[in-house]
Every structure is written in structure tokens, then in C-alpha cells.
Amino acid sequence: QVQLVESGGGAVQAGGSLRLSCTASGRTFTNYAMGWFRRAPGKEREFVAGITWSGGSTYGTDSVKGRFTISRDNAKNTVYLQMNTLKPEDTAVYYCAARPFAALPGSSPAMYPYWGQGTQVTVSS
């Protein structure tokens, strides 16, 4: 079993920045590909960014490329999502997710059996 705890959400104005953190416990973190997803009001959960177990490769959806950066520190069992130049349409609950024994992250929520509780990000115009 893996437990994931997100932190770092909050309210910012458009153009601002936030850094989300997700700390894992319970299993060997280095065996997991990790992903960040978000769910905006009235919308489906969508993939935001993913990172391989080694941190060597990252992936992001088109709407966040050039603005969001995913990274991980395996020594701290933590994955980060640095969000810059935030827009009102980035407002959502953000979730981190773990994909065990997978080298590559995926963009489908169904690929991830472990989820954090979510952290709210609100961007005002």
C-alpha cells in the first residue's frame, strides 16, 4: 500500500506561481512512475504531467507545456509540480498519483492505483 499526501495548493492571481509537493510513504518510491492530474469544476479528471521512476523523462499536456515542470527527489520520496504563469483556467483540484513498478507514467487515470487526497489551486483574474 502507498500513501500520497499533497501540499502547496492555494489561491493566487493570474501570472503567479505555486509549487505543489506530493510525499509518498509505504513502499519503495523509486519503483513508481508518478503523475499529476487535475479536476476542474464540472469537468473530468485530466492528466497534467508525468515523470519516469528515474526522473530522466517528463511529460506534460499541451496546455501546461512551458509553464509547469514536474520533478522528483527520490531521496525524499517526493514529486513536485512547479506551476508558473498560472491562468484562471488552471483552477482545479490537483492530485498526484503513483503507478507502481512502471518505468513510464501514463496519461490515463486508470493506470494509477494510488492517489492523494488532492489540493485546491485557485487562480483569479
**pLDDT score of 34:** 95
Give per-residue pLDDT as tens, 59-77.
999 999 999 999 999 999 9
Mean pLDDT, rounded, of the chain: 94
**pLDDT score of 29:** 72
Give per-residue pLDDT as tens, 30-46.
788 999 999 999 999 99
Give per-residue pLDDT as tens, 11-24.
999 999 999 999 99
- Give the three cell numbers for residue 114: 494510488
Strand partners, 119: 94
CA distance linking residue 5 with residue 47, whole number of Å:
18
* Cα within 13 Å of Cα(48), Cβ side: 28
